[in-house]
Amino acid sequence: FKLRRAFQGYALVPVGGLALSVGYQPFLWQGVLWHRSSLGLATHLSPSLGLGLAVNEFRRGEDKAELSYDWGLFWEPTNWLNLNLSQQNANRAMIAGANLDETWHLGIGLRPLFGQNSLTVVGETVWQNSQEWALAEQRWGFDVRIVPGVHLRMAYVPERQRVDMGIYTALNKAHV
């Protein structure tokens, strides 16, 4: 456990029918710690389909890298099922002389308690393209509502024998 790489934060602010996001995440690239700042925009394309786009800047001291672009789709056809698909580093930006790997995420969420969001069981598969496509990792976990607006999230990553966890909050129906 290394605290300097463990902290990350994101905030989402509703702006009319859109949501503006800002975020920070430490990023380990070729054994060196970089800092990723993100600015994103999300909207509903229909009542059950959402689209998000993000621009990321990577910094290490005075060193900066090319901007990286991400996008994602979220589909919730019923109140007990949601699916998401996203692509990170879609443009394979260059950092310190090497291109970031393009990464695809495919996730599913099931709400077994009659579609209520008090418990969601989640699964995610991640594929990465460095030289050729390969399965990077899978995550299996849950999201539990502690009190209205506050959730505990936990996921196990078997390939790395790692547990990820965090607190998720919702303010005025904008998710952080």
Q: pLDDT value at position 10?
A: 80
152 close to 169: Cβ distance less than 8 angstroms: no
Please give the model's pTM, rounded to 2 decimal places: 0.82
Q: pLDDT value at position 140?
A: 96
Task: List beta partners, residue 43.
Answer: 18, 51
* 105-120 residue pLDDT tens: 999 999 988 878 889 9
Alpha-carbon gap, residue 139 to 2, rounded angstroms: 20
